[in-house]
Chains A and B, each alone.
Chain A
């Protein structure tokens, strides 16, 4: 039970060891290769957007460019600034990397979720029935939230321990931003949990296995998906939310002082996080590894192919946004997070809870319409109050400041 409902752990724990190790190593290797391809993909797509050709030299279509860059970084001189807090400076890259990798462990990347309850995502590896995910803890998606809050430490401590002002400014921005958007992220996840009735990622995929219309993006009404996508991009510190490493203002942000392999670790963590967030979105909202088997013979690999297709779409979307949108100003960033995303996802969660209660109590059409009117009135009333409070505070602030100006002469 400690390790979740995976039938692998029903028997002797030591018996399950080889499969567990195999899954962990496979996931790690997969992530490394995926990061390599992802960086190459990013550079190629951005080049296309900007009418350039991008990397072309190393390997066919420059596909080995990342590998070449990685090897180069390995052999560069490793600098530790004089002012740095040496221990923390060396620790920080690992604090970024480890959560990025661990989060991927809860993502189901394949399995036969055909909705008829025959296999329910089970596959057989080395003669043992198991899920195609490294771990399926009962807290499931909470594990993702926990890891994303731990990931802040890497960025924060990197900036602080560099003993230099631009990294410090970058890391303060990063921590404030990540803490702010975590709330919206959590509320969007709560909407999906409400629908699936379980925190486990496996159960979430299972609850969406009755075909396209049962995917959470539709059953939760698109809004949580949009909120999660925006907040997820902000958690990644990707454009348009990349104030953390705004080159024009902060040199390179929190990793300004990092070089060589330590810089490579931050780079790796960043792109690993991108893949992980994409995979989590697919799991939460798009039914994970589900899809029609098309012309292929039935089997668990169909799910894996669908999973990668969906993941690739989101990876492309991240690059697309990166190439087209300008960076937010800091106050716009905070306004979007606190005054728009959080209230919106909160109201949406209340609406969904009401509909769930309706389902459980067998409401008729009249009840649903009544609930919707009540919800809408309440939401409009509170939104009105909020905007009035913001306006009143602004007028008061201006009056106070004008008074100050006047008294200063």
Chain B
């Protein structure tokens, strides 16, 4: 009973959110509807006793990914309602309908074809006992599976993420003259770090120190 009520509420949340994402005219409102959908899915995970997935759903998707979406929307200033009359790619609407229908069909076929219905347990043999051992909570089970059956995949993912982080840093690193302000010698207006050793000794350095103090006061 309680499960049914929770499911009904969550289903309405998810469906309304999903429709809102595509129907809202303002991208920020779309993002808000997306959060609603994600939280609804988290509620469903809790009903299925997949507590860890529910937490991850909120922390990672609602807490990080949609935040990034919003960041981009706000900073790029695309937070205005767009004119949907103009089609940037010719013929994308019928194509989108076809691909959407194909995806929905594939999903339904997968669920129906799985012998055990929606869980897909029998359709995926060899997942092993670790994944379905009822003696442990879901968090312990995920841990066991990750660090035994899927250890290699787990570590490869870690390497992949590290590469992605380094790539992001390399791609976004730009040089602006503003970056140098800290390094400018206030007297000579030279870059101190590029000057040969000893060039800033003596009077120049003393003068520079005084100006520094003067600025602080």
Contacts and interface: CB of A to CB of B under 8 A. Distances in A.
A156 B67 contact: yes
A88 B35 CA distance: 14
Given A149-B59, A398-B180, A137 B29 contact: no
Given A149-B62, A402-B191, A175 B67 contact: yes
Interface stretch (B48-56, B96-104, B196-204): B48-56
Contact of A179 (B47, B58, B64): B64
Interface in A357-409: 393-395, 397-402, 404-405
A146 B139 contact: no
A199 B139 contact: yes
A150 B63 contact: yes
A77 B28 CA distance: 27
Interface residues of A, number: 40
Interface string A123-159: 0000000000000011100110110011011001100
A88 B173 CA distance: 34
Most buried by A among B35, B55, B56, B74: B55
Interface of A (DSSP majority class) = helix
Contacts of B70: 156-157, 160, 175
Contacts of A149: 58-59, 62-64, 67
Nearest to B52: A139
B139 A160 contact: no
A81 to B, nearest CB: 16
B175 interface: yes
B32 interface: yes
Given A150-B62, A150-B63, A398-B194, A13 B179 contact: no
Given A160-B28, A401-B175, A172 B59 contact: no
A161 B59 CA distance: 23
Nearest to A5: B137
A397 B175 contact: yes
A163 to B, nearest CB: 10
A235 to B, nearest CB: 12
Contacts of A168: 74
Contact of A398 (B35, B71, B139, B191): B191
A394 B182 CA distance: 12
Contacts of A88: 28-29, 32
Interface in B29-75: 29, 32, 35, 46-47, 49, 51-52, 54-56, 58-59, 62-64, 67, 70-71, 74-75
B136 to A, nearest CB: 11
B168 interface: no
Interface string A9-22: 00001000000000
Interface string A72-106: 00000000000001011001000000000000000
Contacts of B28: 85, 88, 157, 160-161
Interface in A22-40: none
A138 B136 CA distance: 12
B172 interface: no
Contacts of B133: none
B59 A145 contact: yes
A88 B29 CA distance: 8
Most buried by B among A139, A153, A199, A402: A139
Given A149-B62, A401-B179, A139 B139 contact: yes
A400 B193 CA distance: 13
Interface in A261-293: none
A138 B139 CA distance: 9
Interface string A204-232: 00000000000000000000000000000
Contacts of B116: none
B27 to A, nearest CB: 11
A259 B63 CA distance: 27
A2 interface: yes
A1 interface: yes
Contacts of B185: none
A45 B166 CA distance: 46
Contacts of B55: 139, 142-143, 145-146
A352 to B, nearest CB: 16
Nearest to A193: B139
Contacts of A171: 74
B35 A153 contact: yes
A179 B64 CA distance: 8
Interface string B168-193: 00000101110110010000000101
17 contacts: A13-B2, A85-B28, A145-B55, A145-B59, A146-B58, A152-B67, A153-B35, A157-B32, A157-B70, A161-B28, A171-B74, A175-B71, A394-B193, A398-B180, A398-B193, A398-B194, A401-B180
Closest 5 A/B residue pairs (Cβ): A149-B63, A142-B55, A146-B58, A139-B55, A139-B51
Given A172-B74, A394-B193, 7 more contacts: A85-B26, A153-B67, A156-B67, A175-B70, A397-B173, A400-B175, A404-B175
Interface of B: 2, 26, 28-29, 32, 35, 46-47, 49, 51-52, 54-56, 58-59, 62-64, 67, 70-71, 74-75, 79, 137-139, 173, 175-177, 179-180, 183, 191, 193-194
Interface of A: 1-2, 13, 85, 87-88, 91, 137-139, 142-143, 145-146, 149-150, 152-153, 156-157, 160-161, 168, 171-172, 175, 179, 182, 199, 393-395, 397-402, 404-405
